[in-house]
Structure 1
């Protein structure tokens, strides 16, 4: 058993059957076929129902683990010289409701995300239902050349979120899905309303950390310099260099997370080159 499976815990089979029955009743299905997904997910039991709905089953243990992660992430933010900005949830139902609302918000901004359906409770479990994307691959599962081609869209989407006061808070390659040539964002976490400014730097650091092992530090930084611009706005490479300097403060924090492995020194060097070029041009 992997450490993720141990920490995530096991939802009793009877409770999973109750969730399946509830889905069948809500969507007028005479029968349901449930396929459980083996994903690197700490915080839910994910499955697909009738090849139509992606369902996350969130337990009390998942909510507890999320609270522990939140505390650790805020300590990491403090270690970067910033006040913590992650917020915990009251329980599993609140976790499901938050992700539903976050997914709706992304789609309202024009950022691709699976279509949200609903969130509800079954036997004390939080249940989130989203559109199932049948033909997708996580960004970090693509060939490096394809990742490089998608890097500008990644930073454009982040810029759009940030321009509208939204932060993802848990950006990793496995939380960016590629389907029909578009990037779909999932698993946004809970960021305090007064912490959005700090979370922007953390999002950028996480994006750079996700891309560097696949496309290299220079390509990742260049993509951010050129493309961290919302669709309805303008930003110069000089302004983006400032944003990357802010992100640089979070690279050490991102480095200690178990789901990121990247060359921090290489990214720092490329960011400092960009800042130096900006200063020389002024």
Structure 2
């Protein structure tokens, strides 16, 4: 069994069936088609309902795993010279309500995200319902030319989040979707609202780490400089070692650090 599936745990079929029946009743369906997805994640059991809605089911086990991940991320933030700024969820309902609210706020400021529908609780499980994007690729799945094309959009959307006092907190290739040529953010996590400078720098470091293996350090930094100044670049540099320790980021931190320093120098001239 895959370690993520083991950690995520298995929700009994009768509980899953109860969620599906509840959704069918809420959406006035006599019959509903459910397709479970092979998802590489720790924090939910996802499925598609009638090829129209994307549904995440969050269990108590998922919240426990999130708490452990949050503790690890905060330890990493301390290693980068910053206090921890990630926060945990107490219940499955709180977890799905946060993602619904984060998706609403992203769309309100003009960032692409799947249309939010609702979040509610069924038998102790948190249930999140979003628009289903039927044809998409993650950034990890894109060809290099496609990554070059979406790089400016990534920094434009990220800068828009930051300008409105928001943060993503978990930028990685699988949380960046491309559908019909448009980039979408998904799976924003919770960070402390009072820590905007740190979360901004961390998000930027993560975005650069996503792009560096695909388009190179120089192009990644040059594209970021369209929206971020020297202070931002140098702040992101301080989080590179932390980001490099994450299993979902593999990049040349030495080369990226060098290009950030060069970029900051150019921006100051």
Please classify the TM superposition score into its range, dividing by the shorter chain length.
Answer: over 0.9
Equivalent residue, structure 2, for 1:168: 168
Whole-angstrom distance in 1 between the partners of 2:239 and 2:246: 11
Equivalent residue, structure 2, for 1:125: 125
Equivalent residue, structure 2, for 1:243: 232
Q: Report the TM-score when normalising by structure 1.
A: 0.94
Whole-angstrom distance in 2 between the partners of 1:223 and 1:278: 13
Whole-angstrom distance in 2 between the partners of 1:32 and 1:196: 43
3-state DSSP of counterpart to 1:194: coil
1:102-140 CA-partner distances (Å, limit 9, x unpaired): 000000000000000000111100000000000111112
Per the TM alignment, residue 276 of structure 1 is displaced from its structure 2 partner at its CA by: 2.6
* CA RMSD between the two structures: 0.9
Point out where structure 1 has 5 or more consecutive residues left out of the alignment. Answer: 229-238
3-state DSSP of counterpart to 2:47: strand
Equivalent residue, structure 1, for 2:195: 195
Equivalent residue, structure 2, for 1:216: 216
Per the TM alignment, residue 243 of structure 1 is displaced from its structure 2 partner at its CA by: 0.5
Equivalent residue, structure 1, for 2:21: 21
3-state DSSP of counterpart to 1:193: coil
Per the TM alignment, residue 197 of structure 1 is displaced from its structure 2 partner at its CA by: 1.9
1:270 has 2:241 as partner = no
1:220-250 CA-partner distances (Å, limit 9, x unpaired): 1111012x2xxxxxxxxxx622211100101
What does 1:1-282 correspond to in 2, within 5 Å? 1-226=1-226, 228=227, 240-279=229-268, 281=269
**How many pairs are equivalent?**
269
3-state DSSP of counterpart to 1:43: coil
Whole-angstrom distance in 2 between the partners of 1:278 and 1:127: 46
2:229 touches 2:267 (CA, 8 Å); kept in 1? no
Q: Which runs of 4+ in 1 moved over 4 A?
A: none
1:33 touches 1:50 (CA, 8 Å); kept in 2? yes
Q: Report the TM-score when normalising by structure 2.
A: 0.98
1:140 touches 1:214 (CA, 8 Å); kept in 2? no
2:209 touches 2:250 (CA, 8 Å); kept in 1? yes
